[in-house]
Amino acid sequence: MNYFRTKSIESIRAQANEGGTNLKKTLGRLNLINLGIGGIIGAGIFSITGTAAATHAGPAIVIAFLISAFACALAGLCYAEMAAMLPLAGSAYTYAYATMGELIAWVIGWDLILEYLFSSSTVAVAWSGYFVSTLKEFGWHFPIEYASAWGQKMILVPNEGWKTLTKDLVNQFEKSSIDYLGFQQTTGIINVPAMALIFVLTLILIKGIKESTVFNNIMVVFKVLVIVMFIVIGIQYVDADNWMPFIPEPKLIQKESSHVMEFGWVGIFRAAGVIFFAYIGFDSVSTAAQEAKNPQKDMAAGILISLGICTLLYVLFSLIMTGVVHYSELNNAAPAAYVVDHMGTGLSWFRKFIKVAALAGLSSATLTMLYSQPRIFLSMSKDGLLPKVFGNVHPKFGTPIFGTILTGVCAALIAGVFSIDVLGELVSIGTLLAFIIVCGGVLYLRYSNPTADRPFKVPGIWVVSILGILACLAQMIFLDPLTWARLFAWLGIGLVIYFIYGRKRSKLNQ
């Protein structure tokens, strides 16, 4: 059997135009741009930015954002060409099938589960942290053990709130002659708010793409407005001394059983690999190809414009954060709200506003990821690589009903028991792998099928494609070795499923 058989461009376009999927074409250019912004602006800007600055890059987190943005721009151009050329709801999976063959397509389809399913769980965990913090603002205290990962140990630090109990925190207390065992401690049981959010959003997605789009558009407008307010107000409280040195000196830091180099340029690239998670939402636009009114013209605009807007906001936001507060203080669950606290007591109202905006932003980001995953399942099912039930579309709502429900249940369970740091790096490495395959695929297709109709063409394809591959690979290299091990284990499970089920039932065998 030839595991590298490809689907023809003509068959993919025919599949995109057939009526059998019943997906409704309701998305215009503005909807696609908002879908991209909704997916991008989420946990990355409201939670992971602070952690990455505090533990990896310092004020140079801005450089890390630009490195990730450069890699995403290159990959985004390649996605734009593929999405306009092959307007099917399969994203990188479909593109790999047209260029590198079925086995690689399966690998990337399985890999995309890391991106969409696990990222929705990651963002929901971040949402939970802001939810608990927001309730506290109004005098309601949610039991922290029911808003944390299973088995996660935490300690209540005076004037700072709950913090994850790490070796660094233990050492901090020991050096200051404080017996940390005397503080109130607890152990996480399950993250109820994160699970509840996913269940509610899953119901919205089942109802239909139109209702989901209206919800997302409202959330996008609100969170962008608040981020702009944060930048405009925060610039008045910036202390330039907090940016000195802009690139902190590199140093070895003990993490678990080994020492890791952080800060300096090594830390910047490590941070770029971590905060890459903050950009992954732009490729969710490509999963909406079959529901776009004019995918040949609007897909490229949706991907590139949303990426550009969010990059600008990320850079300005991170500059304000590290300018108002020293980067070493940003390693907490709600760094944006923490920064507002340091702008003065007169802005206490804005702290609540920021937290509500974070909830809105994280909600729309979770919605976007939950939206994308069932459409990957749908395409894989239509190709015979997954059971037919994944291809079922609700006759009234026009949504992939089984895939949406399964995604919601699995995402809720993952969000309930895992912490954000474990999920975040796993999502980043899976996404980077997908981007590498798309960058390579668009270049290969230019060589193998140069006469195909391309509504959008990547300028300087050789330079863009190769630089995109190298930029993504560079960020993968600096990720934790344990993250690589988890990626290989996940892909190994996927290959077992393919050889047991998918290869025998592939439509290319018929």
Strand 153-157 and strand 185-187: pairing? antiparallel
Residue with tokens 């070796």: 167
Q: What's 213's domain CATH number?
A: 1.20.1740.10
CA dihedral 435, 398, 220, 376 (to 10 degrees): -10
Domain-embedded: residue 429? yes
Residue with tokens 């209206």: 214
- Domain total for the chain? 1
Domain-embedded: residue 14? no
Q: What is the pLDDT of residues 82-131, one digit of tens each?
A: 877 777 655 678 878 888 888 888 988 888 887 788 888 888 888 888 88
Domain-embedded: residue 231? yes
Q: What is the pLDDT of residues 279-307, one digit of tens each?
A: 777 767 776 767 778 877 787 788 888 88
Domain-embedded: residue 131? yes
Domain-embedded: residue 112? yes
Nearest to 131 by CA among 185, 200, 65, 203: 200
Domain-embedded: residue 194? yes
Instruction: For residue 358, give every residue at least 6 positions away whose Cβ sits within 8 Å of its Cβ, in sequence order, or none.
Output: 46, 127, 130, 223, 334, 336, 337
Domain-embedded: residue 370? yes
Domain-embedded: residue 11? no
Domain span holding position 459: 23-152+188-509
Q: What is the pLDDT of residues 389-412, one digit of tens each?
A: 888 887 777 778 898 999 999 999
Q: What is the pLDDT of residues 45-64, one digit of tens each?
A: 777 788 888 888 899 999 99
Q: What is the pLDDT of residues 256-275, one digit of tens each?
A: 555 566 788 888 988 887 77
